[in-house]
């Protein structure tokens, strides 16, 4: 018997559209339970762990386990308790037990377990990165969930998602039947998808509905610097269906930070490199930095009564109805995320930032670099 039917109250945000078409993030998205697991509730903000265990993203060089431990404590004490990971994040550290999932496990051994979201990668040879056997059929989805539970050291996943809409050995139906079986077995409290566009998330919603399993979330790239998924209808479709939109890369790979805003302001238009970026490219972002600084109070004013650029960017993402999961590797970044809670942008501030975001999107048609933000 399906866990919910047409007659049931379909999953939906607690708050709907505001005037001018602007969206406010729901206090939480809730779903009806299966017979095994209690309903999952997603908070307004979480954190991403894609760089954990990945030396190409700074693991062991720019941050380490001590930094993660400090960040973890800051986040939990500040009320941020959702951690987004994947079976393939930090796969380079598998032999050292330093994958993203394993590092997260080491942090929760002596602490209250947070809400954990992880993902299944449908690529057939994922076993070469994450272990297990060749990927095909629905049982591979179920077994991968069990493997993630072991690596994470928990009894159950809170959210288990498909990592990407890519071809799978056994077909799309096998993927969703695998998710449904994991849900029915109590291996996860909810299921989701990642990087699905409007049409794909609607298909996923119907497939889950056929199987009697509620689709909890769709995670996709979204930020003040990249509003493609809002313009193509994906965000609106998620909100319409009651599928929680989770925004990965909400800080545009670190560009929405005081570091770059300050450095660009000091450069005075001179050529050169600012961090890993060419200053000429960053100067294209000057208008959006100015708008963020105006909204935040003054450039990098988090230490006073204002809000940092990162906090403004996260608040913008939440104002549009998304749950941002910014990457966090240290205590300072964790404090920025915590500070993004407890305040909201005014409608005129969202409108001003949206104007700059749309202008940046228009420019991106001619500048490939901007499309990758």
Q: Show the tokens assigned to 184.
A: 């029915």
| 8 Å CB contact between 248 and 300 | no
Enzyme catalytic residues: 89
Q: Show the tokens assigned to 356.
A: 């700059």
DSSP assignment letter at 113: -
Partner residues linked to 160 by β-bridges: 118, 191
| 8 Å CB contact between 293 and 309 | yes
CA–CA dist 99, 53 (Å, integer): 5
Radius of gyration of the chain (CA): 20
| 8 Å CB contact between 342 and 315 | no
> How many other C-beta atoms are found inside a 10 Å radius of the C-beta of residue 64?
14
The helix or strand, by DSSP H or E, that contains position 218, with its residue range, turns out to be strand 215-221
> How many other C-beta atoms are found inside a 10 Å radius of the C-beta of residue 120?
30
């Amino acid at each position: 018997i399906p866990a919910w039917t047409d007659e049931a109250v379909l999953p939906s945000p607690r708050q709907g559209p505001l005037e001018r078409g602007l969206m406010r993030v729901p206090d939480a998205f809730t779903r009806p339970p299966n017979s095994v697991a209690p309903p999952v509730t997603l908070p307004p903000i979480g954190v991403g762990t894609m760089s954990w265990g990945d030396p190409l993203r700074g693991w062991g060089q720019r941050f380490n386990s001590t930094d993660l431990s400090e960040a973890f404590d800051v986040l939990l004490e500040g009320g941020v308790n959702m951690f987004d990971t994947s079976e393939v994040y930090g796969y380079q550290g598998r032999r050292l037990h330093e994958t993203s999932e394993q590092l997260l496990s080491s942090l929760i051994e002596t602490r209250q377990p947070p809400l954990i979201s992880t993902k299944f990668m449908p690529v057939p040879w994922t076993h070469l990165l994450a272990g297990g056997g060749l990927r095909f059929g629905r049982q591979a989805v179920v077994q991968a969930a069990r493997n993630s539970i072991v690596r994470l050291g928990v009894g159950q996943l809170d959210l288990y998602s498909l990592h990407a809409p890519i071809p799978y050995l056994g077909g799309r139906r096998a993927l969703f039947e695998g998710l449904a079986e994991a849900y029915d077995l109590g291996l996860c409290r909810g299921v989701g998808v990642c990087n699905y566009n409007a049409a794909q998330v609607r298909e996923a919603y119907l497939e889950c509905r056929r199987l009697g399993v509620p689709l909890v979330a769709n995670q996709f790239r979204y930020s003040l610097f990249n509003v493609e998924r809002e313009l193509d209808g994906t965000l609106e479709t998620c909100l319409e269906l009651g599928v929680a939109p989770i925004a990965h890369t909400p800080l545009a790979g670190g560009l929405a930070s005081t570091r770059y805003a300050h450095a660009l302001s000091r450069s005075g238009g001179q050529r050169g490199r600012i961090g890993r970026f060419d200053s000429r490219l960053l100067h294209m972002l000057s208008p959006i930095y100015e708008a963020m600084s105006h909204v935040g109070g003054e450039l990098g004013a988090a230490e006073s009564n204002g809000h940092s650029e990162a906090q403004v960017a996260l608040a913008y993402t939440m104002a549009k109805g998304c749950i941002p999961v910014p990457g966090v590797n240290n205590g300072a970044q964790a404090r920025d995320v915590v500070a993004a809670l407890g305040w909201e942008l005014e409608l005129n501030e969202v409108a001003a930032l949206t104007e700059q975001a749309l202008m940046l999107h228009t420019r991106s048609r001619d500048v490939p670099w901007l499309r990758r933000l």
